[in-house]
Structure 1
Amino acid sequence: MRDVHRLEPVSANLGSGTVLAAWERFVQGEDHVPDVRPLVAISWHRCREQYRVDPHLTRAPVAVAEPDHTPEHDVVFAELGFRAASVAHEVGGLGGVVTVTDAAGRILAEWGDQATLARAGEANLAPWFCWSECAVGTNGMGTALEAHGPVPIRGAEHWCQAFHDWVCAGVAVRDVVTKDPIAVMTICCWRSPLPASASGWLANAVTMTQYPLKRRARDSGAELVAACTQARARSGAALAAVDTAGKVVIADDMASVLLGVPACTPAVDPTLRWKPGLPELIAAARYATGQAAHNPDWVGSTQIFAHLADEPTSIGIRPVFSSGRLIGHLVSFGASDGAQVPQVEGPAHPRVPPRRLVAVRDNRLVLLRLPEVSFAESRGNDVWLSTDQGRLRAASVSLDKLDSELADAGFLRVHRRYVVNLGRIREIERGLKGELSLVMDGRTSEMVPVSRRNAPAVRRALDL
């Protein structure tokens, strides 16, 4: 599976040397930390700039109550707990502890060496305390929730100095449809290296826990195809079925044109489902998922800019359930029944624009001032930044997330693949059919296309 790899080797030195010196400089405000692994440096940057975690915190806070989770999550907790308990004797014999954490960073249970458990209790490394990154900074549990794949954090790589005596490795079990984290299994040791078998234990636990999730997601895909076929027989509207993340499972001939996906081609396997490249559709599907989870009778509608369309298209969204479990939605084009889906779902709390953008070059972290960045481009599974230092891969893997973070910092989404720095636009070109292109300043005068749906926002932003 994609999320399980071998743990990368890390220096055996826990708290001294180059990493500790880099940590001391970074918490004082320096940005240049070339001797720190990119995964850790990026996490430090989140802790300092976004989460504002006190590096001198000595204990984890008490976890707060979270909204209800699904029965599927309960199955994951139980299975992962079984896997953790099955290796607890071996881990405990080597002086370590094993924990299972939920998606909010709350420790649900732990097993292992009694002396180490007592030591862990002093830092609140215990059930019902919160170890998310936003609560205690860089650590095996919290950083695994932020990253894909196994996360080893040892010694001075922890953001909080009080945890520099710990060595941890964690890996998250993720929803195979939405990719959101569900739980984390972590192995921790105090002032000693991780067991040599830690990588295998974590990989096996996640593989075995996610196997039934994958099987159930394939079954849900087949049920969505059947639901779409039944609905198609009753309606002449263009129709598609999407999963809870907004990926297309099947679309009829007309809907396939509007969504830009193959026609009448079922994508039952969650790893093979079609990505329509329509941010508004994905946002609407995710909003519908949240609404339907609390109100099974919810039906909604909104407008999106579909492919090959100059004007917004109305769509209706109807949730599909199987045995009481939400598995996706039917999207009918031209429908306008039901509750209106908000066009833009704002964050619960005002977001503070970042002072820097984080990029990676040759396994090293590059911290960029915002004026240094001309534009960001989504290409494949990566986001690339065009900067005064050349083309660099962004630490963020989501252009949507980057767009949200930079919305109040002089950046604007001009195309589904591009976010530009408004202050770096030098010229605007108009094509034969009225389409706009932006000529960015810089030595190469790169051009960025503007989509039809984003053209009005560009004109407003530039007072055209």
Structure 2
Amino acid sequence: MPDRDGSSAFTRTRDAWERFAAGDEVPADVPLSIALSWLRCRDHHRLDPLAPVQAPVRDDVVYRREHASVFTMLGAVAAGIAGRHDGCVAAVTDGDGRVLASWAARGSGECAPAPGSVWAEARAGTNGAGTALAHPRAVCVRGPEHWSSALHDHSCVSTAVCDPVLGTAVAALTVSTRGHCLPVRPDDLLLATGPALRVLCDAAARSSAVLAGAFVDLDRRERRPLLALDGGGRVVAANSAARRRSLLPRSDGGRALGRAVAPALIRASGGDTWSGTVLVGAAGDTGGAGGTGGAGGADPLVFRLRPVPGDAGPVGFLAVADGAGAGTDDVLPVPAPTPAGDAPDRVAAVGRGGRLHLLACDDVRHALADGHDVWLVTDVGVLRAAHRGIDRLARELEPAGFLRVHRGHLVNAARIRSVHRGPDGMTVATDRAGAERIPVSRRAVPAVRAALGL
């Protein structure tokens, strides 16, 4: 297909797409966000780039009430863009890539996507809405940067709006056009969606205040371990009794409680009188409980979860250690720490000149955070991880045997060559000379000892 504007950049992109679709290991000559999306489409989603786009229609979804105003605000923005710019289509999708509404501008010559059609990246390949939602950000996908050849004569720009508590995408605003000239930039969409994001942030602030007030009120009367968990399962407050039992946000016990929040939210939606129990450190808890039981042979701790009601359902839960046992409460399962599936075998990194590298997990010795950037110390040198945030990298690499040994450090347990004890605590090294000094926090010492059989 010839480029309509004769651009050499799009010719290079189309050539790169053809090479990668034919089996090249690493996509070249494309932006990093597009290269990573192509990798997901080919190696994870197994999408045929020559097949028609699959965007099935689904309308059996019920949305949370607090998101209705976000959808409405984005709809007004989308309608305004379509009214001001000829030749484009503006659409609003939910967090799963499902089209809620769309507007076709004059002269667009395009049919607006059907309401309910799903444009998630796993279904439609690299595209504006789906790729913006896959790793929430603002993205621009032009011509042959789309994974499906059926979309190579289109371009689109999209931005996702995320829930500040859950960290998941709530919606996306997308503008598309035929050809390579887009009427708006990613920054324009970021500014336009700012008010919708503020609505979510204000709602999150109100929910946090309600949860904090409930925690303080109960803490005055409670001497047992008490924690407050937000809707995303994060431990946001703990009393002194809980801290003495090492029930903190990054402890195994705190994580196990956090993983029980998702099923608790579903069961608590029926009314504020619901309460449930979670066994932390029980044999069935695959996440373990650190020093709270299980591994050390002690009895598991039983926590009663009490929902903290808000305007649109529970804003979080108070977890109280209950020595009396579960009683008649609903016993909640503790989901596994990571989704079922094979451990990752490769890590994406960026080298000099923005070149993308795909490294075997075994070739990565350790990772350290520098703000939001993460640097990988590998057998081929120091490279920057393609994705930002060490928390996210830790979740992805945990099944491959990586340990979070410190707030800013992640270590491949199989590459640890020496362990040192000093006045400042434990350190480990992955080089054979033992010259490295990777700090191990006190809370991570038991996990390191267990992984190394010490």
Q: TM-score, normalised by structure 2?
A: 0.80
Q: Sequence identity of aligned pairs in percent?
A: 33
Give the superposition deviation at 1:192: 3.7
Give the superposition deviation at 1:460: 5.8
State the AA in 2 paired with 1:301. V
State the AA in 1 paired with 2:176. C
Q: Is the 8 A contact 1:375 1:419 kept in 2?
A: yes
Secondary structure of 1:234's aligned partner: coil
Secondary structure of 2:348's aligned partner: strand
1:360 matches 2:333: no
Q: Is the 8 A contact 2:129 2:174 kept in 1?
A: yes
Larger CA deviation: 289-298 vs 216-225: 289-298
Matches within 5 A, 1:141-156: 141-156=129-144
1:77 is aligned, of 71, 86, 92, to 71
Deviations 1:55-76 (A, max 9, x none): 2222223045666431112332
Cα distance in structure 2, aligned partners of 1:77 and 1:239? 37
State the AA in 2 paired with 1:189. T
Q: CA, structure 1 residues 67+445, in 2 after alignment: closer, same or farther (shift >3 Å)? A: farther
Larger CA deviation: 440-449 vs 223-232: 440-449
Instruction: Structure 1: state its 5+ residue gaps.
Output: 1-10, 262-275
1:299 matches 2:276: yes
Q: CA, structure 1 residues 155+443, in 2 after alignment: closer, same or farther (shift >3 Å)? A: farther
Matches within 5 A, 1:137-176: 137-176=125-164
Q: Is the 8 A contact 1:424 1:440 kept in 2?
A: yes
Give the superposition deviation at 1:214: 1.7
Matches within 5 A, 1:72-221: 72-91=66-85, 93=86, 95-113=87-105, 116=108, 118=110, 125-195=113-183, 197-199=184-186, 201-221=188-208
Give the superposition deviation at 1:353: 3.4
State the AA in 1 paired with 2:170. I
Secondary structure of 1:16's aligned partner: helix
Aligned residue pair count: 428
Q: Which residue of 1 aligns with 2:254?
A: 281
Alpha carbon RMSD of aligned pairs, Å? 3.6
Matches within 5 A, 1:50-65: 50-64=44-58
Secondary structure of 1:35's aligned partner: coil
Larger CA deviation: 316-325 vs 453-462: 453-462
State the AA in 2 paired with 1:69. Y
Larger CA deviation: 109-118 vs 206-215: 109-118
Larger CA deviation: 383-392 vs 333-342: 333-342
Cα distance in structure 2, aligned partners of 1:452 and 1:29? 46
Q: Which residue of 1 aligns with 2:430?
A: 440
Q: CA, structure 1 residues 334+391, in 2 after alignment: closer, same or farther (shift >3 Å)? A: farther
Q: CA, structure 1 residues 383+45, in 2 after alignment: closer, same or farther (shift >3 Å)? A: same
Larger CA deviation: 277-286 vs 168-177: 277-286
Cα distance in structure 1, aligned partners of 2:405 and 2:61? 35
Q: Which residue of 1 aligns with 2:341?
A: 351
Cα distance in structure 1, aligned partners of 2:36 and 2:214? 43
Secondary structure of 1:17's aligned partner: helix
Cα distance in structure 2, aligned partners of 1:141 and 1:278? 36
1:317 matches 2:305: yes
Q: Which residue of 2 aligns with 1:29?
A: 23
Give the superposition deviation at 1:153: 1.0
Q: Is the 8 A contact 1:150 1:170 kept in 2?
A: yes
Secondary structure of 1:393's aligned partner: strand
Larger CA deviation: 443-452 vs 51-60: 443-452
Larger CA deviation: 132-141 vs 436-445: 436-445
Give the superposition deviation at 1:101: 0.8
Cα distance in structure 2, aligned partners of 1:211 and 1:126? 29
Secondary structure of 1:36's aligned partner: coil
1:228 is aligned, of 196, 203, 215, to 215
Cα distance in structure 2, aligned partners of 1:389 and 1:443? 17
Cα distance in structure 2, aligned partners of 1:107 and 1:194? 20
State the AA in 2 paired with 1:60. Q
Q: Which residue of 2 aligns with 1:270?
A: none
Q: TM-score, normalised by structure 1?
A: 0.79
Cα distance in structure 2, aligned partners of 1:283 and 1:13? 53
Q: CA, structure 1 residues 351+461, in 2 after alignment: closer, same or farther (shift >3 Å)? A: same
